[in-house]
Structure 1
């Protein structure tokens, strides 16, 4: 009898273990996880102040706005199920889906072991997680307030009274946005804008719950305890080397994702993204043109976009470069190099790269050509005239660049050597002699950055990268950085452009860029393309070139 019971027990135990093992296998087979490298440059989860490519990436996957934009640029339903455009293209009416909710994740327990969410700790257990039209009203009002300092404000400046609110002339409750009821939102523009729906899919227009925002007492977006999400994913954990995103089961929109987990792996410049893509360790990645060259013969798929401008930056601390006309002479000497041998380089026609947009157009095309061409004869004339005024006897330039641009920078300085460098004497009868020397130093990335921070250079080949699609944000970074010093004309032009209507944006952006280039501290020379790449078998990772918006919502992978 005992042996019989023992046999039955063993049989039952084996059956339980078998079921458990297969259940575990089934659970594991249902897991669809992706690994994507990023730099971890995240200061906040607050969409209205998102600025870096990494912050935009998180917003794209963890928040949903009124609408979405697919790979083909088609506007699709988001929190809004339908919408109408009236009043000559100036009034937008959105009808929100009922049942859309904020993701409220349990993070702590009360003293009596009753589980509470962090939201309930902040606001009480009666918090209503429903997303309503008021969440979009408050979000857009916040984005227009000057103290919010929203990087993408210029993209919504066409909303009625937005510019006046931003300048402090009106309070935010005067913005041309209102909730007609809990699920109907109206937005009024100053002028018709065909690209406005696309703007509403970006970070600046993501919803924000006013009561929750106020309850965080200035800590909104500063960590997971002070953030709520409403997209297909939410940030579940922040580790030392990665951010972990999980599928949001509370999402009720039209675009639910089959992806269960996303690991955003924090990397540094030492990792070989191309190698990790080729091996399949990375499912997708952002790579440079040089890295893409290594993958051309592989089955990696990639799309290119041009989000960077290479420019020669002149250090005004050099005695020669303290003179405006001598800076101009050097800038006019810089070679216009042949880019045919580079798949990822093209001649810069403007400072602002093509990934920035004005309406639906590439910014460089909308504003037209602003970059002046090489002019050796004018450069030599200016050089001789101003040297006579300055009385200089020596011109010595230390040019720095990183290893990846060593061939490019050597081509660019050939014009300087052939132009101003060929002048050995000046004055009425060439009675004054001047010695000229130019040395190119190729530095490691760390040494290059160190030299820049110390000002230990005369000319630097520098890569200016747009982190979003706003041309004004790109130009603001230049003006407010340490690249050109104080240029009143550029500052004034930027202010006017920031308060311009959508129709005036191209003209004012061009004026701002022209003012920067007229200082001759920076000479844009090349546009550089980068690539968003997918590993073999990976499909439908959605890339929004130039904005940092990478979506895994529709991503799939063929298992080998």
Structure 2
């Protein structure tokens, strides 16, 4: 009996030592999120917070580091055919799906079949994923998406349980980056079918294979993640879990949220009061954070641009857009741009890297479009003659109520009035409302933020690719499409040059007017380390996070 007791105690000690080393590991990291999430289906979730949670609870073939480097996760190795059209991935054999009490108790391995099923889900002809356009390089993808071919014709297969093969129609050197995205996470077909179309909608309809599982979601003012005991990796999970507090400034605390640390207060105050361990932070609060010994990361990862609704005939006119573009005098912004922003003439933010280099260092910061009221006037006169109108029916610009943007947009408004006799009103709304109206097509022009979801100029320029889920402006240019397709099979300086040609083509076409680059700040409390912040989606990774005493 004594031997049995000692064995149990020894096993318990080993278990505890694996979960934490007494140096702050195994603790719960507290983090604020701007709102709750309603969908955690990796193949369909588009919300940035949802994708962050997915990236911490699922694991794909690869993961993209904050530097832009893509590192293997479930793909222990891979090889590419000489023509660049066939990728063969060899998977680790120790990965398992999580257990859900009363629903899924088996130690089910994660296999190549789970990736085949997940990728096929992207191209369901009846309800395709918003990310399907990212993977159209896969053999027969367009035909499967249109319904002309069955899903089984897609160029993805599992010759063996732990061997995944992907065949392409055209070479695409960005395939590993795409396979690192949340949309390429595995999906177990048997479990998916058991959820009866509710996959990703609640806890009983989700399986996890990442470092954490979701313990609570939807019933409180917070979402909790805890270590996934079924997770296997060469490097252990350090954090015990994450508490995501849903931040709704000005709302009252419920009794449950108050017990968890006043989840309704504003994030900067909560961070400075020590109620959260890490957070996305406003520029105005940085000095207070550093004064208290906190640390932060900063990324020039966002560009603010004016975009136009191409569904409207006069804004689909290239010369109208050029008139609006050439008449913008950015020198008027001097002295009014907030400290977290800088005036921009080009589209791709400085944080974007590719192939081990920084794109902006290669391409520079100068636009091929110059400020010239005379050129702008000539374009407008020619456009109105072509359209057969005497006055352009352009009278509204949507602007987000933040970062001094209404004042700055007012200078653009004055340029259009002075040089083009366009009396454009400004509709100032919260960011969520502006983006929603753009998504619904209920706008003429809007000043909106664009960010890179992965480490490549393509991730920003794809906002202007025909058919892209990101392209909510109905903009189309065959030359831009051709150039972006060409970058997929190009390397090094050649790829950078083609990216620059594509960026210049978008700017010269007047598809967007870049105004500012914005810096995003993430802060960690003095006792916190190991939280990975990234300029690319999903943004924050908690596997290695820990707190000291």
TM-score calculated relative to the size of structure 2: 0.73
Equivalent residues in 2 for 1:30-429 (5 A)? 32-87=27-82, 90-106=85-101, 117-119=102-104, 129-190=108-169, 193-238=172-217, 239-268=219-248, 272-292=266-286, 295=289, 297=291, 299-312=293-306, 328-337=322-331, 342-351=338-347, 353=349, 372-382=369-379, 390-391=389-390, 401-402=399-400, 404-406=402-404, 409-411=406-408, 413-414=410-411, 417=414, 420-421=417-418
**For the Cα contact (< 8 Å) 2:25–2:545, is it kept in 1?**
no
Q: What is the DSSP-based 3-state SS (H/G/I as helix, E as strand, rest coil) of the residue aligned with 1:235? A: strand
How far apart are the structure 2 equivalents of 1:335 and 1:232?
50
Distance 1:257 1:446, change over 3 A: closer
Q: What is the DSSP-based 3-state SS (H/G/I as helix, E as strand, rest coil) of the residue aligned with 1:47? A: coil
How far apart are the structure 1 equivalents of 2:444 and 2:81?
56
Distance 1:478 1:375, change over 3 A: farther
Q: Which has the larger radius of gyration?
A: 1
Q: What is the DSSP-based 3-state SS (H/G/I as helix, E as strand, rest coil) of the residue aligned with 2:43? A: helix
Spell out, residue by residue over 1:182-229, the C-alpha distance to the aligned partner (whole angstroms, 9 max, x if none): 223333445555443333322122111112222222222221111111
2:515 aligned to which of 518, 525, 528: 525
Distance 1:152 1:382, change over 3 A: closer
Per the alignment, residue 8 of structure 1 pairs with none
Q: What is the DSSP-based 3-state SS (H/G/I as helix, E as strand, rest coil) of the residue aligned with 1:246? A: strand
**For the Cα contact (< 8 Å) 1:305–1:546, is it kept in 2?**
no
C-alpha displacement at 1:160, in angstroms?
3.4
Q: What is the DSSP-based 3-state SS (H/G/I as helix, E as strand, rest coil) of the residue aligned with 2:330? A: coil
Matched, 1:557 2:520: no
How far apart are the structure 2 equivalents of 1:204 and 1:63?
11
Distance 1:220 1:558, change over 3 A: same
Q: What is the DSSP-based 3-state SS (H/G/I as helix, E as strand, rest coil) of the residue aligned with 1:58? A: helix
How far apart are the structure 2 equivalents of 1:30 and 1:290?
31
Q: What is the DSSP-based 3-state SS (H/G/I as helix, E as strand, rest coil) of the residue aligned with 1:185? A: strand
Matched length: 502
**For the Cα contact (< 8 Å) 2:348–2:360, is it kept in 1?**
yes
Distance 1:235 1:88, change over 3 A: same
Q: More displaced, 71-80 or 258-267?
A: 71-80
How far apart are the structure 2 equivalents of 1:161 and 1:215?
28
**For the Cα contact (< 8 Å) 2:122–2:128, is it kept in 1?**
yes
How far apart are the structure 1 equivalents of 2:110 and 2:442?
53
Q: CA RMSD in A?
A: 4.8
**For the Cα contact (< 8 Å) 2:480–2:506, is it kept in 1?**
no
Per the alignment, residue 462 of structure 1 pairs with 448
**For the Cα contact (< 8 Å) 2:97–2:208, is it kept in 1?**
yes
Distance 1:296 1:195, change over 3 A: farther
**For the Cα contact (< 8 Å) 2:463–2:470, is it kept in 1?**
no
**Structure 2 spans left out of the alignment, 5+ residues:** 1-20, 251-264
C-alpha displacement at 1:380, in angstroms?
3.8
Spell out, residue by residue over 1:361-395, the C-alpha distance to the aligned partner (whole angstroms, 9 max, x if none): 77878999877332122224455777897556x99
**Structure 1 spans left out of the alignment, 5+ residues:** 1-25, 107-116, 121-126, 424-433
Q: What is the DSSP-based 3-state SS (H/G/I as helix, E as strand, rest coil) of the residue aligned with 2:402? A: helix
TM-score calculated relative to the size of structure 1: 0.72
Q: What is the DSSP-based 3-state SS (H/G/I as helix, E as strand, rest coil) of the residue aligned with 1:131? A: coil
Per the alignment, residue 530 of structure 2 pairs with 540
Q: More displaced, 215-224 or 290-299?
A: 290-299
Spell out, residue by residue over 1:262-287, the C-alpha distance to the aligned partner (whole angstroms, 9 max, x if none): 11111135554333333332221223
Q: What is the DSSP-based 3-state SS (H/G/I as helix, E as strand, rest coil) of the residue aligned with 1:149? A: coil
Q: What is the DSSP-based 3-state SS (H/G/I as helix, E as strand, rest coil) of the residue aligned with 1:119? A: coil
**For the Cα contact (< 8 Å) 1:542–1:550, is it kept in 2?**
yes
C-alpha displacement at 1:237, in angstroms?
0.9
Spell out, residue by residue over 1:505-555, the C-alpha distance to the aligned partner (whole angstroms, 9 max, x if none): 999988987887678585332222212322222111112322124211011
Q: More displaced, 156-165 or 54-63?
A: 156-165
Q: What is the DSSP-based 3-state SS (H/G/I as helix, E as strand, rest coil) of the residue aligned with 1:309? A: strand
Per the alignment, residue 112 of structure 1 pairs with none
C-alpha displacement at 1:234, in angstroms?
0.5
How far apart are the structure 1 equivalents of 2:124 and 2:524?
39
Distance 1:479 1:371, change over 3 A: farther
Spell out, residue by residue over 1:410-464, the C-alpha distance to the aligned partner (whole angstroms, 9 max, x if none): 45544654675168xxxxxxxxxx8x86776866779978999999998654334
